[in-house]
Structure 1
């Protein structure tokens, strides 16, 4: 199973779509590392992802956990303190997810002046210091973003193994800025362009570009497998809150519906206590999408008028484009232009929701 360990709710940035961490108490870990170790020891193969806030604000706590608890390690970070992780700890990470929104001007506008340059400098440094795992660009996509232009920038800069993006949920809330419908149309057009580029790159390079929403969904389509909620929230993916309670989803820790237990429980007892409901489970592409987002599904009353339908239109468009591309991908595999195994990603959920 996979666990987000929220080391702190504090953050050193004040991003336009977030606001600098959570204000709800407690902000810092209240349980002991021995209690956490006892909880995780009841899972035969835990994947442990450090999360926040900004987890590297509590780097010493992170190191103590890594020293005490065996497991596969992942971190999701804004990247500004990656240069502070010592090589012996860098080498323990299976994956590092770095928040970056695309080109320099876009990232700095969303996240703060100079953030892009510091992130790019630090990811180069961690490679030099021995990190050889999966480096993932973790984009947030607020309204107005040119997704095609910014994904291409990150793909072509050569720094990242994989790229994932998530639509900024605040744009669908009541009181969000106007013009969302028009931007969704533009976003869907860009997704079509990206799928076309993705296939052309395979044909040209004999390599599958690591575009996570495409590889994850295409792998299911080629294998004919049906998916539950792809991020795994509430199924086999949980967040350990600073007070030791367990949330089904790291985004919804401040909502009562999401609390499924505590670290005094056994991990397996947490599974399937909170699941996606309607309208998702009756949808004709539920087997592909899995419900997209547990939090949004349970917080529908907070959405603007037709907000849920707009979100679903982006998922449906993505699925349609990839379904249309599947026969050509099969041909590329059969002709040995690409390897089918290259579409098997992630090997375990490493913090990418798959469906944007």
Structure 2
């Protein structure tokens, strides 16, 4: 199983689309549960846990990260970080990580506009340090937030050119007031979906040369279409993945620290509550590919049904764009140009959502 472990509710940045730290009333900035208590709870449930450090910004509290890594010696570790505090952990700790997600949105002007002046350069410094000085063998993933200012093809290809092993993105929709459903749909038709198609063509041309690009939404969707369909939201929230908040509560979703529906239990009593998807997702023809997209959106209707349907529309179009190339991907695997395992991407090992 995948476990998100919040080390703090605090963040040292305040990004435009995020707002920064959690309210300490909902996610205390110092953990109330010891590393040993958390490790004991996880070990009772899961013999082979995948543990991702989360926040806030998890490296605001590096000592807790180290304590958990010592207490859970047999786990596979990962981290989602903004990349500005990476030197707070020693190189030997970084060498134990299997996956590192660094938040960066694209070129310097876009990243700094969203995340603060100088953040782009600090993230690239972190990338170089991890790969060339620390010699971390981990997969380093660029984690993008896609906003109105984003240009998907430009931003993804830029990040891949910098040396990231893979790129994942999430659309800034549903919980934002940046735009509404109709504005989002207009932007998607004019900019985003054409760029999905351009990226697909790039993905195919590289695959024909035997190189599978680390474009995570494509890998996750092709895995569902060709190898193993999803029976739940791809990130696993509430079924195959849980978060442990700094107050000891177990959450169905790591961003839902204040929402009552997300309370799955507590490390002192176990997991006691379940969740479900909307009926429209249970009967959807793309459920095996999308899985329901995002558990949080099933419970928090900030955009209402119109907004939920708008994002669903874009998701279906994205899947159809990739479906068009399915025969080519299948043939490349059959001919041995690319390997089946190159497409068999498991989001639970990287803590990614797959469906943007």
TM-score range relative to shorter protein: over 0.9
Secondary structure at 1:276's aligned position in 2?
A: coil
Structure 1 match to 2:157: 152
Show CA shifts across 1:18-61 (max 9, x none): 11121141232111222112101111011111000000010111
Q: For 1:247 and 1:340, how far apart are their aligned partners in 2?
A: 34
Contact 2:185 2:314 in 1 (8 A): no
Residue matched to 2:290:
289
| Residues 294, 144 of structure 1: alpha-carbon distance in 2 compared, 3 angstrom cutoff | same
Corresponding residue for 2:5?
5
2:116 is the alignment partner of 1:115: no
Distance 1:163 1:265 in 2: 37
Instruction: Identify unmatched segments of 5+ residues in structure 1.
Output: none
The answer to whether residue 289 in structure 2 is matched with residue 276 in structure 1 is: no
Compared CA separation, residues 174 and 98, structure 1 to 2 (3 A): closer
Q: Do the aligned residues in 2 keep the contact of 1:231 with 1:349 (CA within 8 Å)? A: no
Residue 168 (structure 1) shift: 1.1
Cα distance, 1:175 vs structure 2:
7.1
Distance 1:299 1:39 in 2: 29
Where do 1:58-137 residues align within 5 Å? Answer: 58-70=61-73, 71-127=75-131, 128-137=133-142
Asked whether the 8 Å contact 1:96–1:136 carries over to 2, the reply is: yes
Q: 1:107 to 1:55 in 2, by over 3 A?
A: same
Structure 2 unaligned residues grouped into runs of 5+:
none
Aligned-partner Cα distance in 2 for 1:97–1:126: 12
- Please say if residues 171 and 177 of structure 1, whose CA atoms lie closer than 8 Å, have aligned partners that are also in contact: no
In the comparison of the two structures, how many residue pairs are matched?
Answer: 350
TM, length-normalised to structure 1: 0.93
Q: Deviations over 1:80-139 (max 9, x none)?
A: 011232111011101000101011111111001111111101111112212111111111
Alignment of 1:161 with 2:162, yes or no, is no
1:171 and 1:245 map into 2 onto residues whose CA distance is: 23
Aligned counterpart, 2:224? 220
CA distance in 1, matches of 2:339, 2:130: 29
Which 10-residue stretch deviates more, 308-317 or 164-173?
164-173
- Pairing partner for 1:229 from 211, 227, 233: 233
Which stretch of the first structure deviates more once superposed, 228-237 or 121-130? Answer: 121-130
Question: SS where residue 80 of structure 1 aligns?
Answer: coil
Quote how far apart the aligned CAs of 1:177 are: 9.3
> What is the Cα deviation at residue 65 of structure 1?
1.1
Partner residue of 1:323?
Answer: 323
Shift in Å at residue 156 of structure 1?
2.1
Map residues 150-189 of structure 1 onto 2, 5 A cutoff: 150-157=155-162, 159-169=163-173, 176=180, 179-185=183-189, 186-189=191-194
CA spacing shift, 1:17–1:170, aligned 2, 3 Å: farther
The aligned residue for residue 60 of structure 2 is 57
Query: TM-score, normalized by length of structure 2?
Result: 0.93
